[in-house]
Amino acid sequence: MWRSLFVFILQVVLFSQCVDRIQFDTTPSVFPVALDGFITDQPGPYEVRVNRAFDIESKNTPKTPLSVRRMEILDNLGNQERLQEAEPGVYRTSAGGIRGVIGRSYRVIVELLDGRIYESIPDTLRPSGQVDEIKYRFISGNATTQPPGFDVTFDARGGAAIDNYYLWRFIGTYQIDTDPELADVSCGESRCPRPRPCSGFILDQGNLVEVGPCTCCTCWVDFFNDVPILSDNRFVQSGRFQDMYAAFVPLNQWIFLHKVYARVEQRSLSRRAFLFWKAIKDQKEAANSLFQPISGRLPRNFIQRAGPEGNLEGIFYAAAVASKGVFITRDDVPNVNLIPAVVVPFRDSCLEFPNSTNLRPAFWNQ
């Protein structure tokens, strides 16, 4: 199940490129399923995604969201919550529902529409530690292989545990401004104006007329590291991780239209969850190497309790979370003329950008 699980996990949560081929026999009615989700000590809601697994080199339609009959999160003290389907294949807890507590263990139970029932192996929520400092350094790049931008690194420390199992996630956020009122469509041999409804403009006798506020002119876009960042004892000294590489932030016209917020999120892991993400990372790095063979197996994290036998791949885990962020601004660029200008406006909704929202993040005005 290597390739399907890898792509599913990396697209949905963090990170999505090629690894070893998976072959699924698509003729039987019992098909493989991929599930990914976690619970933290931070306020919910929490999200679990379910997809029908697939071979991305086959001609079949890839990554099909899968609805289920029932999904519940439970802890070892008897607390539980039934998740609701927010969109196809995406299940969420309520905002004031179950919340992770350090020291408790958590599991998810999912019942598929065909009667199969799976239960994740319980995972204990461990202390998070903290991210001490975010650092960045300008890289001038070159004309052929490396664009200019910023290398982002961080220092962090572990919690009370001595085994130092952590997963770090880089989240970059930037603001974009677009012109959805200038959208147009093909009109014979030319183009005809067709302002997006969210722009607040309508076309009245050939003229643009403003009738309300624009809800898709300004958005905030997230981007992430593409390889899992895991604790490595080569970089730890007395429980401290120094100069861990987070991500490269390219100097392009959209990311540095205003500024970018570079944030590192630290998640505590059990040994089981660590080994799962380590296997994902090894596959990712092997796929990008011409010489490193692809090998190993993902740890199994689900037990089937009922129904016809079939595979459920993926992970549900518990993590305490700590994070820290810093703004990288246009003033941090040694020469502002290096920042490309937006020559052609984006004539559409800013919500067309992947991972975008029109809700201003709470940290943006810091």
Residue 288 confidence (pLDDT): 57
Could you give the CA distance from residue 199 to residue 219 in angstroms, rounded to a whole number?
Answer: 13
Residue 271 confidence (pLDDT): 92
Q: What is each CA distance from 114 to 67, 125, 153, in whole angstroms?
A: 11, 32, 47
Residue 54 confidence (pLDDT): 53
Find how far residue 127's CA is from the centre of its chain.
22
Residue 4 confidence (pLDDT): 40
Question: 88 exposed, middle or buried (CB, 10 Å; 0-12, 13-18, 19+)?
Answer: exposed
Residue 146 confidence (pLDDT): 80
pTM over 0.85: no
Phi and psi (nearest 5°) for 181? Answer: -70, -15
Contact between residue 124 and residue 75 where contact means Cβ atoms under 8 Å apart? no
Could you give the CA distance from residue 191 to residue 170 in angstroms, rounded to a whole number?
Answer: 41
Low-confidence residues of the chain, pLDDT below 50?
1-29, 55-61, 290-295
Q: Which residues on neighbouring strands pair with residue 193, listed in sequence order?
A: 184
Q: Which residues contact 313 (CB under 8 A, 6 or more apart)?
A: 1, 4, 5, 32, 33, 34, 35, 53, 298, 302
Radius of gyration of the chain (CA): 23
